[in-house]
Homo-oligomer: A and B are copies of this chain.
């Protein structure tokens, strides 16, 4: 059973980094991928694709990507469901990134490299001087959004980990 997704697009917002109760890092972000064709009004639309990444690359994503960053994702489609606070079953389709590539060019602030789901920080002698950290990322407030983050460890059991 093959399940492979490759995306190149731009982050719609800063990534959200959270930790499971047992301390595993998870980052969520959305990629805007411009379509290569125009609709009947002659406009180029975009797809907004939710992505998740786990562990070390989650932290790299949080450190090196921000709103507007160009990034590549190699991963797979995951579907899951949960019951929302109205007792309604919500179905989610998202991309689990196995690796994330930083495509901001040489001159840009981000540096360039790879976040690999297999673990380990980006290699290759790049100087990731962490100038892009977003220290303050809680979204706060009441929220129906399954991607929302209230600053506390999220209620994801390690059973949800895909490995």
Contact = CB atoms under 8 A, between A and B. Distances in A.
Interface of A: 1-9, 33-41, 44, 46-50, 70, 72, 74, 76-79, 93-95, 99, 101, 103-105, 107-108, 114, 116, 123-124, 158-159, 161-163
A116 B1 CA distance: 11
A162 B49 CA distance: 17
Given A47-B77, A159-B40, A101 B8 contact: yes
Contacts of A161: 40
Given A1-B9, A105-B104, A114 B49 contact: no
Contacts of A101: 1-2, 8
Contacts of A95: 77
Contacts of A8: 1-3, 8, 72, 101, 103
Nearest to A115: B36
Contacts of A108: 105, 107
B77 A1 contact: no
Contacts of A104: 105
A7 B77 CA distance: 9
A1 B114 contact: yes
Contact of A2 (B7, B105, B107): B7
B1 A36 contact: yes
B107 A33 contact: no
